[in-house]
């Protein structure tokens, strides 16, 4: 088991990110309380991945700040594992020259890396692929390996960037069950509305970097601004 102190709160305060003339995030604030499943949705280009990149320290905010457990926090990619924060990448991001098991062991941070990696593969139902190479596997299997890689560290905060992308209905249902059963704090970027609406406690909606709504799934699905943003994107 992890010996991390439990999470108290991750918070973003008025985060703005500009890339040249483009504002990818525009004064976004968000509080993530322990055990919550928080969805981040919005049309393509809304800034969802950028939000994850800010929390993982890959993209420094142009302005605004973050706090972790109430203290000012400047995230750094190489500190995340130690802080108990894991993320999956949009798509699949495994090392081709390493087996599935070795890929998952990379994410482990305790001494019994191999047994923990095997347990994570088991949790994701892909133990039988442990000694294969990711490149030889079906996309849905690789997505599960990607999840196992994020879960192996037993994170306090799990960040999932479009985990359902490219999956069929059965796989998405399996994923939904896993997300609700892990019992950790989850930040979920996802386009599959059924999944988002069924697993999230609260949802932040971004549109061109702006937070246009924050609320429970039923509040969000009844919010005309949200429908408009999606219809605008489809048009
Ligand atoms: N490193 C970067 N440099 C320049 N522009 C970027 C960079 N990352 C993202 N963007 C731009 O910021 C906007 C938001 O992108 P992103 O966060 O990937 O959106 P989403 O994940 O919601 O589809 C897009 O217009 C994208 O092109
Ligand atoms: Mg994205």
Domain extent listing, the chain: 1-84+156-235, 86-154
Nearest atom in ligand 1 to 161's CA = 21
Identify the residue whose tokens are 């700040």: 65
C-beta of residue 179 within 8 angstroms of C-beta of residue 199: yes
From the alpha carbon of 206, which atom of ligand 1 is closest?
22
Q: Which phi and psi (to 5°) does residue 129 adopt? A: -100, 10
Yes or no: domain 1-84+156-235 corresponds to CATH 3.40.50.300: yes
What percent of the chain has pLDDT above 70? 96
The model's pLDDT over 13-44, given as tens digits with 9 standing for 90+, comes to: 999 999 999 999 999 999 999 999 999 999 99
Instruction: Report CA-CA distances (Å) from 80 to 31, 220, 235.
Output: 18, 30, 39
Element holding 103 (H helix, E strand): helix 100-106
- Name the closest ligand to CA 160: 2
Rounded CA separation 147/149 (Å): 5
121 C-alpha to center of ligand 1: Å? 31
Distance 162 CA to ligand 2 centre (A): 7
Q: Which of 204-227 are b and which e, b meaning 16 or more Cβ less than 10 Å from the residue's Cβ?
A: bbbbbbbbbbbeebeebeebeebe
- Per-residue model confidence as pLDDT tens digits over 126-175: 999 999 999 999 999 999 999 999 999 899 999 999 999 889 999 999 99
Euclidean distance between CA atoms 50 and 52, whole angstroms: 5
């Amino acid at each position: 088991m992890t010996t991390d102190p439990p999470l108290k709160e991750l918070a973003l305060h008025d985060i703005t990110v500009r890339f040249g003339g483009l504002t990818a995030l525009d004064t976004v604030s968000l509080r993530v309380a322990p055990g919550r499943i928080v969805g981040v949705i919005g049309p393509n280009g809304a800034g969802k991945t950028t939000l994850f990149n800010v929390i993982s320290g890959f993209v420094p905010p142009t302005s605004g700040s973050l706090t972790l457990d109430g203290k000012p926090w400047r995230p750094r990619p190489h500190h995340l594992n130690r802080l108990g924060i894991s993320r999956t990448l949009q798509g699949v991001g495994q090392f081709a020259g390493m087996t599935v098991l070795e890929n998952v062991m990379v994410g482990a941070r305790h001494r019994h890396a191999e047994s923990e990696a095997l347990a994570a593969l088991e949790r994701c139902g892909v133990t039988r692929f442990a000694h294969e190479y990711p490149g030889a596997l079906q996309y849905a299997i690789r997505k599960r390996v990607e999840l196992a890689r994020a879960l192996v560290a037993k994170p306090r905060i799990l960040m999932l960037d479009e985990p359902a992308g490219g999956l069929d209905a059965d796989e998405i249902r399996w994923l939904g069950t896993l997300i609700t059963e892990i019992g950790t704090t989850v930040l979920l970027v996802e386009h599959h509305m059924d999944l988002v609406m069924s697993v999230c406690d609260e949802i932040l909606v971004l549109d061109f970097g702006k937070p246009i709504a924050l609320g429970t799934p039923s509040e969000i699905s009844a919010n005309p601004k949200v429908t408009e943003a999606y219809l605008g994107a489809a048009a």
